[in-house]
Chain A
């Protein structure tokens, strides 16, 4: 969520019971603008918080002029001192899938891969590295996975210019109440994968400047989907909660420009989803 609208946004997301203490909110209000100044970001988003067993990680994202470019991610243990995270690599993502269980809360903690996945450990040893995975790397990979899987925006909020870069749509007035209840009005904010698979009939209705992303309709599992849509306060706020990554909450106030998502959770994928629906 936008750093500037953080207080209002947090109260809209609080339906799940997770939030920030007043101390942390005040700290964020002071440190996020400083981040923007130091790193020359155009926008700073507060991404959320991953609860470890002994401590929590608070994550912020900085965006440049092209909103779809890879984002810079920073983490902090106290919302005051931020450290930049390196971008995620495919190798990190593959290793992070193997590591299960809670985060420990200590960025230098090392997961011993020899216990978890001996093959990967052997490969690492061959290439000259130690068969461990640092918690920091797992953190990077988890944030990237969550963003790719469940980072969503409303339809029409972002436009793609003919040059390929993505900007906020200044003409976006918000979804109407009827549109806000449908899963097809929301897009994943990542590289689209199934746009090419759509039939020509479907593509004819699409507007290439706004419909350049995957919509949520086709999320597995089909039918009920992996999202819970709720209208709170009788429809003045629409809240989407992801069932795949429990803790990700997206909010949007219909007919206004306010929207955003935040993650408050343990950083573990809910692999039991098919059994739970």
Chain B
């Protein structure tokens, strides 16, 4: 008061230093002075900020307009966020003179792919005629299966099921398929796998086998050619000691169409993406898959870093787990399948056919007794195959190349037998006090329409249902076996033994000084005797 004056009329703040004219007083009795105070206050509010170009007056006006338009509850609690939002909105509009590039989020690309599933191809009519000739439809009724499993609370959302249905239709038109089934879904870290179990038409499989054989023959020829060159080089240089380690003979994989390779599997990450065929599984892969436990990433070419080192990449690991799950959990009502009567019943019988005289037992019985269900996939032996093969037989070929001494060191391989096909699941062992299977009816309130549901406890995520003549197996899960104890990784093998003992490297105690002197004296005596003998001989001459 009185420190800054006197103000000139053209300066702001004119008249403010008078008492009763300052805007900081509550009451201004004089009407004219009040108007002036209001104008000054408004002028202050209209001051443009140097940083953002906004002013407080407009900002408050926008906020109040927004609040009065929207009328949210408890506005006073969220007033700060409203203010922030208004500022944010203003900022964007004012500063961008260029239009934003129209970003296409991946959502729309995926929607395009899904839409493509619905489009009917031009060559559809020809395929329909072919199907009539073939007889049974190859396309599985995924929606019907999904309905039954939904009664138990298992399954994907209806939309996803329908996309999978359409994806199967695409698969059938592209690949020569005889029968096809939705095997299940395996979850992964980055992406998931949708798996189709398929039997190809007979001609197609032979073509593939022919290709594989040609490849292996070409590789062997290359190796022979290189071997000859190496031998020439080796003759010149001294050879380092050869290792006497002979790896165990490789167990051959089962032929396509039998045992673990009975079905061919196609996978895709999402319905709409292309289907990829998984390679056949080898026994070494199954044996190794039993010892490791790894999450799937969702990319088929991802390497599997583990100990023992897995012979293959994620596609092979996936195929091995699929084989194990199928062998362990694919069941059907007892009596639905039977052995064909024409063939003699061998222990290693792999074929089964539907029993035309099968009478489906009532649901209550299916739930109560596990003996009403049977496996229809052969179990996998410890060797990694369904049918045991003696690896010693193959080593006959190696006789010509290897040394004879090594044959005697081979161990005797004991023949392994597994359970025959169509074993009842009541014979499955449980773990500790947990049975291998849990059976339930889908509903207790409406027993006449309930279905029997089986859940596997050994492979969590494997389910089966049966209702009358219909039954189906499916898998939804991460692809690992349940173990009551924690997973213990295999220990590395013990360190190799030392090199074999040979006389040149055997340790012996050094002779003591007395022994050396005695030896030297004995040598000198012998020399002296020899010289005397020569002299005598010389004298004789």
Contact = CB atoms under 8 A, between A and B. Distances in A.
A19 B434 contact: no
A235 B188 CA distance: 17
Interface string A231-265: 10111100001010010000000000000000000
Contacts of A93: none
A100 B484 contact: yes
Contacts of A23: 151, 442-443, 445
A20 interface: yes
Q: Interface size for chain A: under 10, 10 to 19, 20 to 34, or 35 or more residues?
A: 35 or more
Contacts of B154: 17-19
A195 interface: no
Contact of B153 (A11, A19, A54, A230): A19
Contacts of A101: 432-434, 484
A275 B435 CA distance: 27
B489 interface: yes
A241 B478 CA distance: 11
B106 A234 contact: yes
Given A275-B487, A275-B489, A21 B443 contact: yes
B160 A15 contact: yes
Contacts of A16: 187, 476
A230 B191 CA distance: 7
B105 interface: yes
B293 interface: yes
Contacts of A231: 106
B105 A21 contact: no
A101 B433 CA distance: 9
Contacts of A20: 153
Contacts of B160: 14-15
A9 to B, nearest CB: 11
B155 interface: yes
A124 interface: no
Interface in B187-229: 187-192
Nearest to B480: A276
A24 B153 contact: yes
B110 interface: yes
A235 B106 CA distance: 6
B438 interface: yes
Given A275-B293, A276-B293, A276-B295, A234 B153 contact: no
B534 interface: no
A240 to B, nearest CB: 11
Interface string A146-157: 000000000000
Contacts of B18: none
Interface in A176-194: 177
A271 interface: yes
A267 to B, nearest CB: 11
A89 interface: no
Contact of A22 (B151, B185, B438): B151
A46 to B, nearest CB: 13
A16 B479 CA distance: 12
Interface in B451-488: 455, 457, 460-461, 476-478, 480, 484, 486-487
A140 B155 CA distance: 28
Contacts of A224: 189
Contacts of A53: 434-435, 438, 457
A228 B189 contact: yes
A14 B66 CA distance: 40
A243 B188 CA distance: 10
B107 A235 contact: yes
Given A16-B187, A170-B72, A277-B295, A271 B486 contact: yes
B360 to A, nearest CB: 22
A246 B295 CA distance: 12
Nearest to B159: A11
Nearest to A233: B110
Contact of A171 (B81, B434, B443, B455): B81
Interface string A202-242: 00000000000000000000001000101101111000010
B434 A102 contact: yes
B508 interface: no
Interface of A: 11-12, 14-24, 51, 53-54, 100-102, 170-171, 177, 224, 228, 230-231, 233-236, 241, 243, 246, 266, 271-272, 275-277
For the complex of A and B, the 10 pairs showing the least CB-CB separation, nearest first, are A234-B110, A17-B476, A21-B153, A14-B157, A272-B487, A11-B157, A235-B107, A228-B189, A234-B107, A235-B106
7 contacts: A11-B159, A18-B476, A23-B445, A170-B78, A234-B107, A234-B113, A235-B107
